[in-house]
Amino acid sequence: MESISFLLNGERVEALVEKRLTLLKFLRENRRLTGTKCGCGTGDCGACMVLVDGEAVTSCNLPAFRADGREVTTIEGFAAPDGSLHPIQRAFVESGAVQCGFCTPGMVVRTAALLSKNPDPSEDEIRAALSKNICRCTGYVKIVEAVQLAARLMADKSPADARPAN
């Protein structure tokens, strides 16, 4: 067992975890944060993406003990405490980029990581950034439009307002 301590959506989490436990299982089964999805379990679909120190990573192939000392943000950390959606979430809703929604948490997380580094990405840059996120429903056009709208919405916000809620 490994003793871990890290920030999860702004709150300190301390736990004992088995070395083989993935961060995805820890989030879903230990913390009941089921917004992060398991699509493939092998690092290939992006449904399980979370932010670790601001980088989008697949949590299905990341051992939970690797979160020790880091800052992790899941999709549950995006909306404000009063429930109002983060601009990226709003953009996905308003653009019609959500169908079954299974890929959406990973898409939102990946978009947050992209826009934090590149606030005004081209369509090619958006498609490249989302190349590891698979959607079986939308055909991606609406998702690209959502990222473009998110960039515009976040440009209208102060950096503090546009950050994930934690």
135 makes contact with ligand FES (CB under 6 A): yes
47 makes contact with ligand FES (CB under 6 A): yes
Element (H, E) at 155: helix 141-155
Judge contact between 40 and 106, C-beta under 8 A.
no
Element (H, E) at 55: strand 55-58
Position among 34, 68, 94, 102 found at the interface with ligand FES (CB under 6 A): 102
Token pair of 134 as six digits: 């698979």
- Report in angstroms how near the CB of residue 60 gets to ligand FES at its nearest: 3
72 makes contact with ligand FES (CB under 6 A): no
DSSP states along 57-77: EEGGGSBGGGGTTSEEE-GGG
Query: For residue 142, what are the CA distances in angstroms to 39, 47, 52, 131?
Result: 21, 17, 26, 15
Stretch that binds ligand FES, among 3-11, 38-46, 112-120, 144-152 (CB under 6 A): 38-46
Smaller CB separation from ligand FES, 127 or 163: 127
39 makes contact with ligand FES (CB under 6 A): yes
Residues that bind ligand FES (CB under 6 A): 38-41, 43-48, 58, 60, 98-103, 135-138
